[in-house]
């Protein structure tokens, strides 16, 4: 009798695990990175990794802090955007 009860409990547990596996929501797709161009050298970088600062009331993005310092000193876009 005890063996039958153990087998029944095992089958119920397996059925529950299978149900949880089949009914779980699908994983979210990976998020596409938002790329921004460095305001000094036009290098594209992920917006989350870019350094940023406000200049003339507008948010500017930079590939690193050295480019941000160059921009603050007056250097702007060594080459056209997108190239």
**Looking at the domain assignment, is residue 30 inside a domain?**
no
**Looking at the domain assignment, is residue 57 inside a domain?**
yes
**Looking at the domain assignment, is residue 60 inside a domain?**
yes
Question: pTM of this prediction?
Answer: 0.56
**Looking at the domain assignment, is residue 9 inside a domain?**
no
Please give the pLDDT value at position 83. 46
Please give the pLDDT value at position 34. 92
Q: What is the rounded CA–CA span in Å between residue 83 and residue 75?
A: 18
Please give the pLDDT value at position 77. 62
Asked if pLDDT for residue 53 goes beyond 80, the answer is: yes
Asked if pLDDT for residue 78 goes beyond 90, the answer is: no
**Looking at the domain assignment, is residue 26 inside a domain?**
no
**Looking at the domain assignment, is residue 65 inside a domain?**
yes
Number of domains in the chain: 1
**Looking at the domain assignment, is residue 56 inside a domain?**
yes
Asked if pLDDT for residue 4 goes beyond 80, the answer is: yes
Domain span at residue 57 reads: 35-72
Pick 43 or 32 by higher pLDDT: 43
């Amino acid at each position: 009798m005890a063996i039958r009860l153990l087998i029944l409990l095992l089958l119920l547990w397996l059925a529950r695990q299978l149900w949880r596996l089949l009914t779980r929501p699908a994983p979210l797709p990976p998020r596409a990175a938002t790329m921004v161009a460095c305001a000094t050298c036009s290098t594209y970088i992920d917006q989350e990794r870019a350094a940023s600062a406000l200049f003339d009331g507008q948010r500017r993005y930079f590939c690193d802090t050295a480019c941000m310092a160059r921009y603050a000193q007056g250097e702007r876009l060594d080459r056209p955007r997108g190239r």
